[in-house]
Amino acid sequence: MPFLPRAVYPLMIGSALLMFAGGVNGLILPLRGSQEGFSSFALGLLGTGWAMGYILGCLVMPRTVARVGHIRAFGAMTALAVVSVLASLLVIQSWAWVPLRGVAGFAFAGAAMIVESWLNERAESASRGRVFGLYTMVNLAATTLGQLSLTLGPTSTHLFFVLAAIFYALALLPSGLYASHQPNPLVGASLDLPTLWRNSPVAVVSVILVGVSNSAFGTLGAVYADRIDLDIATIAFFMSLAILAGAGAQIPIGYLSDRMDRRLVLVAIAGVAFLVDLFLIVVQPSSVPMALAASAVFGACIFSMYPVIVAHANDHAPENYFLRTSGGLLLLFGVGSIAGPLLAGVIMSAAGPSGLFITTALTHVTLIGYALWRIRQRAAPTQENKTDFVPVTSARYSTMETASLDPRAEEEEIEEQRVETPTEDENG
């Protein structure tokens, strides 16, 4: 039996190209904006624009695909992504970059959902876990390589804008040339806040706070590094190492969270992140080894919180409620992601580069306090009632289709969540 169905590999290549382009575009914009003299507030708005566009894409795309078909919708999304990148090069002004970043977020979410829908349709029940694992690894590697590519040339030229546009366009080829028929309709996202709150108040509050923290760092981490005078190569490694460390830390953290109260694990992670916050606020390390070490520890903490929150919420969720729980948490993470870069930009404008980690420190200490209070109010679930921890890709790039690839999702539950709308045959 092959490791994976052959039809999966072209889709993996398309996803890798998409993520590579996203990695390049997501890092060049704050760096170039900082070099052009954009204020911290304006640079923070880039992250807010992205998050708003991304969440809108997650909400709108299922019905759009049902109406026009996967291939046409994917072509439209890649075209929008290319236009947003090249227009950002033509008009280097903050007032233009913010809405263009929103367009990029919308297009990126839509394209990612469509690729994931194809993957879900190609993957059989027996291989869905392997597909999900490989998909997560491919996305991580491609995003990291996209960020590291900024070490290959000057960021003051058009080079990386054009490179991102090229890879967005290339992402159309594997799925566009290989796909011969429409896969299943996309899975829709919905927010059932009362049920989420009843199941796990800690998950609801924590996922918003983590959205604030992670999006602030994802948008303005490069700006912080630039303004404490790190060189471009170090900045690229500063951001990429955080993502890699976050992925690697999920295995030991997941092992611990499966064997003890996940809320205690979450408190411990947030506590370490808070200590790193204080270090980066006070020291502002200009030493390359010190800066990279701090980034690795910080990334290991902040990027491993989301899967712990998802697992904890599902420990208390009703049977066959995984997708609704994950979708609701994703939308709440998006709310935090909209606020995070904006709040961090305001604080950085007043307090300088350390304002970024003042913001994240506030979120982490709030999370610690609330989780400790909830631990006193409610006992942890028994070991028999706990779901399995599964490492996941960054919530910043997750959609409802990502959740449907998760081996914890039930087939009948996925079918219930699909958005069915009559549509003409796109190949006819």
Q: Which residue among 189, 212, 244 closes a domain?
A: 189
Burial class (CB in 10 A: 0-12, 13-18, 19+), 1: exposed
The total number of structural domains in the chain stands at 2
In this structure, are 265 and 374 located in the same domain? yes
The tokens for 340 are: 């995070």
The tokens for 416 are: 């219930």
Tell me the pTM: 0.89
Q: What pLDDT does 205 receive? A: 96
Is 222 in contact with 353 (CB distance < 8 Å)?
A: no
> What digits encode the pLDDT tens for the residues 181-213?
666 777 777 777 888 898 889 999 999 999 999
The answer to which of 89-98, 284-293, 375-384 has the lowest mean pLDDT is 375-384
Establish if 419 belongs to a structural domain. Answer: no
In this structure, are 368 and 357 located in the same domain? yes
In this structure, are 216 and 168 located in the same domain? no
- How far is residue 371's CA from residue 273's CA, in Å, rounded to a whole number? 15
In this structure, are 126 and 169 located in the same domain? yes
Q: What pLDDT does 423 receive? A: 44
Burial class (CB in 10 A: 0-12, 13-18, 19+), 310: buried
Q: What pLDDT does 193 receive? A: 84
Does residue 85 sit in helix, strand or coil? Answer: helix
> What digits encode the pLDDT tens for the residues 222-256?
999 999 999 999 999 999 999 999 888 888 998 88
- How far is residue 131's CA from residue 154's CA, in Å, rounded to a whole number? 37
User: For residue 177, which phi and psi values (nearest 5 degrees)?
Assistant: -85, -30
**Structural domain of residue 82, as residue ranges?**
1-189
Q: What pLDDT does 426 receive? A: 43
- How far is residue 235's CA from residue 255's CA, in Å, rounded to a whole number? 31
In this structure, are 179 and 271 located in the same domain? no
Is the torsion defined by CA of 287, 292, 19, 333 positive or negative? negative
The tokens for 65 are: 């695909």
CATH value at residue 267: 1.20.1250.20
